[in-house]
Amino acid sequence: MANAGTPLSFSDVLRLRPVRRLWIAQIVSVFGDFLALFAIISVVTFQLHGTATQVAMVLVSFMAPMAVVSPLAGVFVDRWPLKRTMVASDVIRGVLVLALVFVKDLYMIYGILFTMSVVSAFFVPAQSVAVRTMVPMAGLMAVNGLMSQANQGALILAPSFAGQLVELAGANSCFLYDGFSFFFSAALVMTLPIERQATGTESRAVLDSMRQGFGFIFRHSTISFVILSMTAGIFAMRCFGALLSIYVRDVLHSTSGAFGVLNTLIGIGMIIGTQLLTRFARHIRQQDLVVYGLWGMGVAVLLVASFGTMGGTAAGMFGLGLCASAIFLTATTLIQHETPHELLGRVMSSMMSLVAGSQVLSMFVAGPVAEVVGIRNMYFGSAAMLVGFGIVGYWKLPKAENAVP
């Protein structure tokens, strides 16, 4: 294995048994989540004959709690034993998703998704803190890359699998698999050597603890910038996702097949970008990678808006995923590296809150803005926003810091 100060590769961190187990749990669980989500959309669309607004509310129910609950959840993640928090979260979500087998009422579906998202607000930051307890600092980039690839791989494969399963065995088969995936993840997490217990901050009031976490973010210029960058990047990507089907239909004059391929290109770009980052970006400061990622995403969006052709759009979508990986992966790693251990749960939860909030906001903003100014003009505005954030970061971030392994 590499020396202590040398950034570790994927193969290096996969030699660590706890990392292997957590990665396998992530693959199985995330794939199950996407299967269940696409199955729910299928049920609401084709069985309950839901409207466009009702289908959109499926995603809002799934994401909105993250924006509201995450800062509060981070306070308790920093107080509670990590392993128990993760296992309890998996078990609760497993029971909830199995309830979807028996539920056909639209509002009950919204309620189950909402509750699952609330519970997930505890699991995600707990997993990020657990990674830091199990992995050397030099291996954080590689481990986060593995987790990102699991997410992107599932996002690419799950839609087609979900469609086939719903057709052949019904939506309940997807819910049963997702329930199994949560229990499987809980069983693997129970075997992990996560040593951190409660941090002794129970006497501090909850609101005071939340303010302490937010205060650290605002005082740390690099972390505040990378969190803002992730928020801007997610907002731009979700605006694309919300309007891409309309762009394909009205600007490219193409079909739903092209729409599916273009969506897949973003995920492929992120997987390749993750590979390139862990191999070739070891001597570049992580905050600089975030700046370059913002500029690259802006150029990719500009490419899509400028040409209005299938080739230009395909290149832009691939470039968008490629450059997005520079933001999301390095931002997560930098936060894990720079944040004091006792604040990490709150800081990661704050990031989750902003990212989830930007996704929900993009769903409400993208359509009305595009109707007023046009889709292409909105894309030009998104490109300018991304490049502008990158310019601000380039001039405002400290220049003397060394690269983080």
| Residue 23 reports pLDDT greater than 90 | yes
From 32-46, 181-195, 318-332, the region with the lowest mean pLDDT: 32-46
Stretch (H or E) spanning 370 = helix 344-373
- Residue 149: closest CA among 274, 13, 33: 274
CB atoms within 10 A of CB 388: 13
What pLDDT was estimated at residue 398? Answer: 64
Distances 277 to 208, 273, 323 between C-alpha atoms, Å: 37, 6, 10
**Domains along the chain with CATH numbers:** 1-192 (1.20.1250.20), 212-396 (1.20.1250.20)
Q: DSSP 3-state assignment of 285?
A: coil
At residue 362's C-alpha, the angle toward residues 358 and 364, to 5°, is: 125
**Do 132 and 18 touch, CB atoms closer than 8 A?**
no
Over residues 21-41, the mean pLDDT reads 90
Over residues 124-145, the mean pLDDT reads 90
State the amino acid at position 233 in one-letter form: G
Per-residue pLDDT band for 16 (boundaries 50, 70, 90) equals: very high
From 51-65, 134-148, 345-359, the region with the lowest mean pLDDT: 51-65
| Residue 295 reports pLDDT greater than 50 | yes
| Residue 329 reports pLDDT greater than 60 | yes
What pLDDT was estimated at residue 2? Answer: 39
66-119 pLDDT tens trace: 888 988 898 899 889 999 999 999 999 999 999 999 998 999 999 999 999 999
**Do 117 and 61 touch, CB atoms closer than 8 A?**
yes
Q: Residue for token digits 């973003």?
A: 266
Over residues 50-74, the mean pLDDT reads 82
| Residue 381 reports pLDDT greater than 80 | yes
Structure tokens at 372: 């007023």
134/199: higher pLDDT: 134
Query: Please, what's the b/e burial string for 191-213 (b: 16 or more CB within 10 A of its CB; e: otherwise)?
Result: ebebebeeeeeeeeeeeebbebb
- Residue 227: closest CA among 322, 323, 352, 104: 352
- How high is the mean pLDDT of the chain? 84
Q: Where are the alpha helices (DSSP H) in 220-343?
A: 221-250, 256-280, 286-307, 310-338
| Residue 286 reports pLDDT greater than 70 | yes
State the amino acid at position 354 in one-letter form: L
330-358 pLDDT tens trace: 888 888 888 888 888 888 888 888 888 88
Q: Among residues of the chain, what percentage have pLDDT more than 90? A: 29
CB atoms within 10 A of CB 104: 10
CA atoms within 13 A on the CB side of 193: 7
Over residues 53-63, the mean pLDDT reads 80
What pLDDT was estimated at residue 405? Answer: 46
What pLDDT was estimated at residue 44? Answer: 85
Q: DSSP 3-state assignment of 208?
A: helix
247-271 pLDDT tens trace: 888 888 887 667 767 877 888 898 8
172-204 pLDDT tens trace: 999 999 999 999 999 999 999 887 644 555 555
Which stretch, 29-38, 85-94, 290-299, 350-359, has highest mean pLDDT? Answer: 85-94
What pLDDT was estimated at residue 399? Answer: 58
